[in-house]
Amino acid sequence: MLKRLKQLPEDWTATGIGLLIVLIIGTGLLGPGAQTATLKAQAGESAQAALPALDSWQIGSEGATAPSNPVSALVAGAAYQYQCTDGQIMAQQLDALPDGINPPDAGKALVLLSNQCEQAITLTYRRDAALRWPLFGLLGR
């Protein structure tokens, strides 16, 4: 097997390795892959999570109306606050971090949830593996 692999012409070897890299990255074996972060906050409380600075995040919520202005592209070093008031969640990017909050690690962004509503709320940040599946998302287009 190894001997056969060594005898493979360079062009085919390069093609195979190239496609393998695409597959490995695409299925999330290498790189960030699929990600999920859940922020839960009781009434009057806050929660936070540091997430990889990537785009194409899908944002969901429970306990309040979904944010009308969700931030799906997170920038490294930035902080985003989701605030629940009157059963409605609104998002905004913060110019400065609130007191007592440490900046995120390199390559990450900070998501803060502040719950001023009367019930517990959950905010979910979810991101699929980079490669769309099944059949590369072709059927869903």
Partner 1 sequence: MGQSAKLNLTLSSAAPSAWGGWVAGGVLLLVLTVLVAEFDKGIATLFKAQGVAQNPLEYPLTAVVLGLIANLVLRVTRLHGLVRPAIRTELYLKIGLVLLGARISLGDLLATGAGGLVQAVIMVVSVFGFTWWLGGRVQLPETLKAVMASAVSICGVSAAIAAAGAVQAKREEVTYITTLVIVTALPLMVVMPMIAGALGLPPQVAGAWFGGNIDTTAAVVGAGTLYGPEAQSVAAVVKLSQNVLIGFAAFALALHFALVVNRGQGERPTPMMIWTRFPKFVLGFMMVSALASVGAFSAPLVREIGTATQWVFALAFVCIGIEFSVSDLRQAGWKPVLVYLAATVFNTLLALGVAWVIFGVMGG
Contact residues toward partner 1 (CB under 8 A) are 9-19, 21-22, 25-26, 31-32, 54-56, 127-128, 130-132, 136-138, 141
Q: With beta carbons less than 8 A apart as the criterion, state whether 43 and 50 touch.
A: no
Q: How far is the CB of 92 from partner 1 (least distance, A)?
A: 24
- Calpha distance 28→131 (Å, rounded): 8
- Calpha distance 64→5 (Å, rounded): 57
Q: How far is the CB of 112 from partner 1 (least distance, A)?
A: 23
Q: How far is the CB of 128 from partner 1 (least distance, A)?
A: 8
Helix (H) / strand (E) element for 105: namely: none
Cβ contacts of 31 within 8 Å, gap of 6 or more: 25, 130
In the complex with partner 1, the residue whose CB is nearer, 54 or 64, is 54
In the complex with partner 1, the residue whose CB is nearer, 96 or 135, is 135
In the complex with partner 1, the residue whose CB is nearer, 6 or 102, is 6
